[in-house]
Structure 1
């Protein structure tokens, strides 16, 4: 009976190639692989033709799906080649790592035991940065990474001794670029044995238990009578599996471990995700480069440089075949000078920098982002076991012809077409469930609520998000409705709830409408803040607008909106009194949004209530900013005449004690459009007289505020106002100041003012 240990690097093409050759030569009767034993039943799927790596084994706790671990595989992963070897030849194949039923159970008991046990569970998160992890998880993750850092320190010392600056480059040249070395694994074992002896430290509890379980699985295989066993594991573990302690020692290490119920499935993965540590804690910096090393080992440099030149041309940069030849020659020269058998990634990047880029690093960043990763998404067989919700998503993706892809793809939808409308609803429902597969983008040249432009990008962690969302229902529609109702009951702020109502309509979640409307009425009844009520109007108005396009019944939404409009109109005059400038600006923005929302509704009752509230704001002593905007809206809605508006403007400008209040009134009145001053002589002359009558100190103080107001005008409006000034509407100085004007100096300024403010040839207006 013989046990052959193959120490590999996860996702290493050189290790994978050498391992495939060694297995062909050895012809083992059993293959043991470092991996989760819970996935043994899924191994036959790996031999299917419709299984396209990169893929990953996802092992999770059904009761708490957020506790999960990924085990990713690429075509150039040694473990994948070992799995394919076993499936192709009918050789029994098993995973022998510590069962995740124990590992995840420990993670699910944190934080109570975090301080006592350093064996932290690797928790798979949908967010790359694991935002929101609690302190216990962070602390235990840090402890779990300490042995890996020590291991890297030892390997970094070996790399420096070999003349390399970093471990990645050293391992790449030593192992991954080798093509046919069957003696490779003996050298790796010797090197790792020396590294572990040099470290000479006690393993962490988790590492010790993992190695103990792998030894137990080897003992079990020998007991079952297997004569020729191949063990594929991380190179670091080989010495621990070669020299075994007693079986009792390992049994004691594995006793009394907690256990949780877990499930496993295959899920698509991407090259980009291979750079993240997960499962067995391995990641590679350049999977795109390793892809070439695996598929074209003898010409990897040439093919990779060709791809680089194509990428540069695609982005409008100069690159030619001559550049490829020159960069290839330079990389070969660099490799020879460094006494390396062939160019590696370091030499190729340096050659490109020298030949094509010079001091410019931007193209190199582009290559590193798109070629070193060379992102691609794998695929799994349609009959891969999974939960109902992920299966429903796959069926809908197939039905709508929306294949998940790792790169960005655009989707242009016209909601007037039923097929496009169904796709839009599907994407909005996924977004509500936390699967942001697509995001909408503003369009240019196309208007109307019937048009949507999506940018789609499928990420592997969405598979875990779908498993987590399965608790809400077996289909996308049912889960979306249930999740919406749950969110509505949790929200305590009216604007957030109205925004959720808008999402509800986009997702066509009709069963959730009664629940959301009841919750909205309850929140609105207890809300006295006018700003909150005003902010809630715009999303609901959008709901009604989209309802017309999508054919959704929004009767209940209209009823709730009517009550909100009434409450907001009653609260506005009271809320606008006695507030400071900052609060007034916030209320002004909410007021403008509410005005647009009420105009969009086109309901006479709402309009009448709104205009009455604005008129009340003018009569009572509200903040000048709010009063000015109220007058502007009353004029725009033709509720007030120009004469009434002029009277209000004149009254606002007749405050010699507090000119700042006048400036604020003007800001609210004029903000966003200067057309009133262009079209109405009466308003123009009132403003003219007020500015001309300001003392010099007051004018200097108010000038920034006035300039901020005029800066909101359109460019065409500013040009017309400048022409009005240059053609006779000049602001006249107050009486008694003519003697202060130096006519000679003024004559020097006037030509320049004419060029800045008006046309070169002007005509004076005849007085009315």
Structure 2
């Protein structure tokens, strides 16, 4: 019987390569891997052809799926190579870390203890003299224990002693780029033993329990009569497992630990989640580089720089074979100057920056994203145990041929096509459950409600969100419908209900429409607030617009829109009165949105009632000036008011009897968002210009921020045109007459047949005449 300890870094190609050679030489009959014992039954999937790393073991509490942990594995992870070896050679493999069922319970007890301590420290009623003295100097912090830094980053000291600025680069040169790998683990064990002797005994209770459980797992394998036991664990734990204390001492550490029910499964992972930048404590700086080292052990620098050149050429950047040769020479020279055996990532990136990027950061960002991180998403086979909702989502993704990728991809949908409509429904249902795999983008250059543009990017954490959402139902449709029904029952405001109606119809949850419609009708009849009525209109009008594209029956919904529009028109003249400036600004955005919605509705009766309400509010003396100005602006844009009538209202509000602040607010409401009316009307320009010139200097200075805020909403061409008008005397721009253009009748006649083909009315098929010979 023999026990062999292999101390590794959790994601390192050198360790993975060395471990693979060591396992092939040892031929163990039992492999113990640092990991959750709850996933022992899933270890055999490592030999499945469809389980492609990066992947992760997900361990979660079924009662509260948000309490979950991930154990990631990459292609170059030593633990993954141990799993593959066991699956290919039929070797018994077990995970030997402290079970997450106990760690969840420990974490819950710790959180409860902290909360209880906080409650006991805070008195129920603080006395006035018990308030903290904010002016008092803080007490000096207690010095950290001598071995603190060694426990938190034990390799940093060795890296500095070797002349490296960081642990990552030192470990990369010392271990990950090695080719002589058989003696690696003995050197790591000797190094870690010296470090732990210098650091002193471990005082962290969780670490002590973890190592006690690992030793217990080794004893169990020995008791079963295993002849060659391979233990794959983090390098820091090797000295604690090399010498086994009494079994009773480890049993005492583990006695009395509570347990919680947990479940485990495989989920896809990504290289981006393996980086330090993602917050992963055991992460690496450049997983793409480590994947490259794993696949190209020989002449890794040359292969890497060739990939850099290929990437740059793919993006139309200058990169030739001469660049590759020069970069290789520079990287090798830098490594020799630094007394390193071969070029590492630092030397290669410095050579790339000097040779390929001409000291520019833009190409480096491309290389960082595409090669250093190499955003890759793994895959999981369909027969991996999972909750029904997860299986249903994955099945729909596969049926609709929607690639699940970690990097962002655009998806352009035409809802007139059944397959595209199904994809849209899938994305909307996932969004309703909080799984934002796709995010809607603005559609440009296309008209109609049947176009949708999505940007897709799958996050590994979505697996946890789907498991958490499984309490609503076993299928995506059932879960989304149940969640929508509960949100409808709990919703209190009319805007919340109407927004939910839009989401429900986008997700094609037909069973939730009827009860939600009833709630909207009840809330609409009981709502008298103008802002709520106006906020409810845009989402419902959007539903009516895309109803035909999605084959949704919106007849009953149109009655609700009619009632809400009528109530909003009645309430508008009274709702704009007696408002503070902040409330008026908020109501202004709702009036603009409601006007756009009613314009899209294209109902003459509603538009007539809306224009009547706007006209009453525009001439009201008690309405807020900003709102009456916007009402006048809308009426002028729609042609309900002539330019002369708008000029009369402007002159009225800019007269001497009106306070300057009220006049500025009216102008803000009238002009906000577009200066076209002011730029193209000499009458309006003269009124505003005269009012500004007549302002006393102090008043002008006081109103200047408000005027600047209004003008800032104009587009750049509008501001330029207004500036040109103001630069001329009287504000009028004189346009030089252009020379008359001579028209050639012969050339003009050639265009007429083409114009006739394009613009002539088309004859309906039923009106065509068939001539038979």
TM range (shorter): 0.7 to 0.9
CA distance in 2, matches of 1:288, 1:682: 66
Q: Which residue of 1 aligns with 2:424?
A: 424
Encode CA deviations 1:47-93: one digit per residue, 9 max, x unaligned.
Answer: 12222111111111111111111111112111111111111111111
Within 5 Å, which residues of 2 pair with 1:573-588? 573-588=573-588
Q: Per the alignment, in what secondary structure is the counterpart of residue 244 of structure 2?
A: coil
Cα root mean square deviation, aligned: 3.2
Q: Which residue of 1 aligns with 2:435?
A: 435
Q: Which residue of 2 aligns with 1:744?
A: none
CA distance in 2, matches of 1:336, 1:660: 74
Within 5 Å, which residues of 2 pair with 1:630-669? 630-637=631-638, 639=640, 645=646, 647-669=648-670
Aligned residues of 2:274 and 2:280 also touching (Cα < 8 A): no
Deviation at 1:498? 2.9
Q: Which residue of 2 aligns with 1:122?
A: none
Q: Which residue of 2 aligns with 1:43?
A: 43
Q: Per the alignment, in what secondary structure is the counterpart of residue 371 of structure 1?
A: helix
- Aligned residue-pair number: 710
Pick one of 736, 740, 743 that aligns with 1:760: 736
CA distance in 1, matches of 2:413, 2:51: 31
CA distance 1:259–1:759, change in 2 (3 Å): same
Within 5 Å, which residues of 2 pair with 1:442-481? 442-481=442-481
Deviation at 1:198? 0.8
Aligned residues of 2:147 and 2:200 also touching (Cα < 8 A): no
CA distance 1:162–1:635, change in 2 (3 Å): closer
Q: Are 1:292 and 2:268 counterparts? A: no
Q: Are 1:503 and 2:503 counterparts? A: yes
Deviation at 1:368? 2.4
Give 5+ residue unaligned stretches, structure 1: 118-145, 732-752, 764-768
Q: Are 1:62 and 2:62 counterparts? A: yes
CA distance 1:330–1:279, change in 2 (3 Å): closer
Q: Per the alignment, in what secondary structure is the counterpart of residue 238 of structure 1?
A: helix
Deviation at 1:680? 7.2
Q: Which residue of 2 aligns with 1:309?
A: 309
Encode CA deviations 1:389-422: one digit per residue, 9 max, x unaligned.
Answer: 1111111111111020122222111111111111
CA distance 1:279–1:196, change in 2 (3 Å): farther
Aligned residues of 2:6 and 2:19 also touching (Cα < 8 A): yes
CA distance 1:574–1:77, change in 2 (3 Å): same
CA distance 1:445–1:638, change in 2 (3 Å): closer
Aligned residues of 1:670 and 1:709 also touching (Cα < 8 A): yes
Give 5+ residue unaligned stretches, structure 2: 118-145, 740-773
- Between 1:367-376 and 1:188-197, the stretch displaced more is 367-376
Q: Are 1:326 and 2:326 counterparts? A: yes
CA distance in 1, matches of 2:279, 2:35: 8
Deviation at 1:677? 6.3
Q: Which residue of 2 aligns with 1:10?
A: 10
CA distance 1:661–1:328, change in 2 (3 Å): same
Q: Which residue of 1 aligns with 2:547?
A: 547
Within 5 Å, which residues of 2 pair with 1:392-411? 392-411=392-411
Q: Which residue of 2 aligns with 1:133?
A: none
Deviation at 1:308? 1.7
With the length of structure 2 as denominator, give the TM-score of the two structures: 0.84
Q: Which residue of 2 aligns with 1:354?
A: 354
Q: Are 1:607 and 2:573 counterparts? A: no
Deviation at 1:670? 4.2
CA distance in 2, matches of 1:81, 1:714: 60
Deviation at 1:279? 13
CA distance in 1, matches of 2:357, 2:485: 56
CA distance 1:616–1:285, change in 2 (3 Å): same
CA distance in 2, matches of 1:711, 1:229: 73
Q: Which residue of 1 aligns with 2:133?
A: none
Deviation at 1:597? 1.2
Q: Which residue of 1 aligns with 2:622?
A: 621
Deviation at 1:105? 2.6
Aligned residues of 1:494 and 1:533 also touching (Cα < 8 A): yes
Deviation at 1:603? 3.0
CA distance in 2, matches of 1:207, 1:445: 59
CA distance in 2, matches of 1:42, 1:656: 82
Q: Which residue of 2 aligns with 1:739?
A: none
CA distance 1:699–1:240, change in 2 (3 Å): closer
Deviation at 1:581? 3.5
CA distance 1:713–1:101, change in 2 (3 Å): closer
Encode CA deviations 1:273-316: one digit per residue, 9 max, x unaligned.
Answer: 12259999521111111111111111211111112222233344
CA distance in 1, matches of 2:344, 2:571: 71
With the length of structure 1 as denominator, give the TM-score of the two structures: 0.85
Q: Per the alignment, in what secondary structure is the counterpart of residue 112 of structure 2?
A: coil
CA distance in 2, matches of 1:394, 1:320: 43
CA distance 1:667–1:53, change in 2 (3 Å): closer
CA distance in 2, matches of 1:710, 1:361: 37
CA distance 1:101–1:759, change in 2 (3 Å): same
- Between 1:259-268 and 1:269-278, the stretch displaced more is 269-278
CA distance 1:164–1:721, change in 2 (3 Å): closer
Encode CA deviations 1:125-154: one digit per residue, 9 max, x unaligned.
Answer: xxxxxxxxxxxxxxxxxxxxx999643433
Q: Which residue of 1 aligns with 2:103?
A: 103
- Between 1:99-108 and 1:687-696, the stretch displaced more is 687-696
Aligned residues of 1:69 and 1:278 also touching (Cα < 8 A): no
Encode CA deviations 1:305-328: one digit per residue, 9 max, x unaligned.
Answer: 112222233344332221211111
CA distance 1:601–1:200, change in 2 (3 Å): same
Deviation at 1:697? 7.1
CA distance in 1, matches of 2:147, 2:391: 39
Deviation at 1:609? 3.6
Deviation at 1:615? 3.2
Deviation at 1:348? 1.0
CA distance 1:583–1:371, change in 2 (3 Å): same
- Between 1:263-272 and 1:556-565, the stretch displaced more is 556-565
Aligned residues of 1:17 and 1:180 also touching (Cα < 8 A): no
CA distance 1:82–1:116, change in 2 (3 Å): farther
Q: Are 1:169 and 2:169 counterparts? A: yes
Deviation at 1:701? 6.6
Within 5 Å, which residues of 2 pair with 1:136-535? 150-275=150-275, 281-357=281-357, 359-521=359-521, 523-524=523-524, 527-535=527-535
Aligned residues of 2:147 and 2:198 also touching (Cα < 8 A): no
CA distance 1:604–1:109, change in 2 (3 Å): farther
Deviation at 1:660? 4.0
CA distance in 2, matches of 1:350, 1:638: 65
Aligned residues of 1:71 and 1:279 also touching (Cα < 8 A): no
Q: Per the alignment, in what secondary structure is the counterpart of residue 428 of structure 1?
A: helix
Aligned residues of 2:272 and 2:278 also touching (Cα < 8 A): no
- Between 1:694-703 and 1:228-237, the stretch displaced more is 694-703
